Structure 1
């Protein structure tokens, strides 16, 4: 049967059926799924299994505990970050959330949300710290590559004591086999030519054997965020990444610079 015939017989839209058969997330009601299974003459036990999977997919993941504090579109990113096998990010001004120490993160949270209560600040901090667990989990830890502009090393967040501790943390965590921290020095100038804001590239696959989803580029701005999935857009950001990588210090020299600047904050 064609998709059009199945969709018509089950009284669902063709686009819903196309997304369902392609493994793409789509809104689907239990009654619609049962109708599709009936049209396809699936055995009752198979239909029940399909319905069970649909209901299970609707269960909230851990980050939904923080619904009242996360913008409606941000949980999309947290979900992608949780599912990603590899994350590559460029940060021109601040240390990325996955590598922030609690004191550094707390200072940023207080600055962004000055009107919130101390309890809400701590809940935001807890969320950020929980996200970092994926770097140290025993099974398939997240592969993280960070290119950090040297300006971020001198941007005083919190106070000099906090900055010194944060930079020493970056130097140490960069020794982990799944974490790479490299610094783009001031002397590199503008390797891309155009100004480049912060971005993250998330890659998803099954141990390199099979691509589950294409890469996604995440752009965060002061008023919102964007997700780029078109092949041309993603390839352009990979070219930008190659330019930044080529101009960045290697990991060993980057660690030395991080420790040197940390000492300056401690002086």
Structure 2
């Protein structure tokens, strides 16, 4: 019971600029909600205290609205948060949350449904991805990405196609950073390696790129190939991404389910565990990691 009465603390959430503003904003938003719950303050009263609507406060508490230092200070005062260390850490996180995302210069090329994933994946400790149709976006070459984008958006201007492709390649940089980079476990259908996207030359260079990445990122990238013969693979027709973060008490697991021109995000613990089990099953039927290189080399000979 004593632990239940303890005031929530943000001190265990570190200041990590490399995690991106989205993670800092989300962690701070959840902390504000916990502080309000702990203080027993109704959302209507809290919203009125800063001259905002309840819907605005709700968006602040879910990380969907900008967090202003003045509003935060007023809310902390209302909630009885006076500890100097807590307030200093919150001020740092507010500042970090206001910084531009790494993908911000290409924001116009990012589909709205993809932006929450772009904002949170740099803070992940581990990413598990399943892709049944294409090479995962993080691992695509420029020409492969442009071919895929043109097929989905045949009327898009050439510049837009180029910028969408650049955005996909930009996402891989988080695996190359020196400080706590995420680990990416990517599982894809074996038919992806035989499904022609563009010319045979495009496919050849894409497969070679995967081989090069396995050499460059032996610890951060793990690629598994699921055979078409495995029945469980064919039953899942859409991409799944599961994110697990360094600080689960502030950032719960996130599941991203991609659909045509849209996506569903789920952070419910039961859903997260269910999709994690699905991905673990896919890993179980996929080839062993040590066989991936030989499978890619076989695909390389196929496209030669």
Q: CA deviation at 1:217?
A: 1.0
Q: 1:159 to 1:5 in 2, by over 3 A?
A: closer
For 2:81 and 2:183, how far apart are their aligned partners in 1? 43
Q: Decide which of 100, 117, 120 is 2:140's aligned counterpart.
A: 100
List gaps (5 residues or longer) in structure 2: 1-37
Work out whether residues 93 and 152 of structure 1, in 8 Å CA contact, stay in contact via their aligned partners in 2: yes
Work out whether residues 63 and 75 of structure 1, in 8 Å CA contact, stay in contact via their aligned partners in 2: no
Q: Decide which of 227, 232, 235 is 2:273's aligned counterpart.
A: 235
Work out whether residues 147 and 197 of structure 2, in 8 Å CA contact, stay in contact via their aligned partners in 1: yes
1:5-51 deviation digits (Å, cap 9, x = unpaired):
8984872689998998xx86364555533433444485999979856
Aligned residues: 260
> Which residue matches 1:198?
239
Q: CA deviation at 1:115?
A: 1.6
1:184-203 deviation digits (Å, cap 9, x = unpaired):
11232x13684342101011
Work out whether residues 253 and 267 of structure 2, in 8 Å CA contact, stay in contact via their aligned partners in 1: yes
For 1:141 and 1:257, how far apart are their aligned partners in 2? 27
1:215-266 deviation digits (Å, cap 9, x = unpaired):
1110111131001111221111122122211111112222111111111111
Q: Decide which of 128, 132, 137 is 2:168's aligned counterpart.
A: 128
For 1:233 and 1:47, how far apart are their aligned partners in 2? 34
How high is the TM-score relative to the length of structure 2?
Answer: 0.73
Q: Does 1:4 align with 2:44?
A: no
> Which residue matches 1:141?
181
How high is the TM-score relative to the length of structure 1?
Answer: 0.82
For 1:173 and 1:65, how far apart are their aligned partners in 2? 25
1:138-183 deviation digits (Å, cap 9, x = unpaired):
2222200011111111111111111111112223323411111111
Work out whether residues 204 and 303 of structure 2, in 8 Å CA contact, stay in contact via their aligned partners in 1: yes
> Which residue matches 2:71?
32
Work out whether residues 4 and 14 of structure 1, in 8 Å CA contact, stay in contact via their aligned partners in 2: no
For 1:235 and 1:6, how far apart are their aligned partners in 2? 30
List gaps (5 residues or longer) in structure 1: none
Q: 1:133 to 1:44 in 2, by over 3 A?
A: closer
Q: Does 1:83 align with 2:120?
A: no
Aligned to 1:32, the other structure's residue is in SS state helix
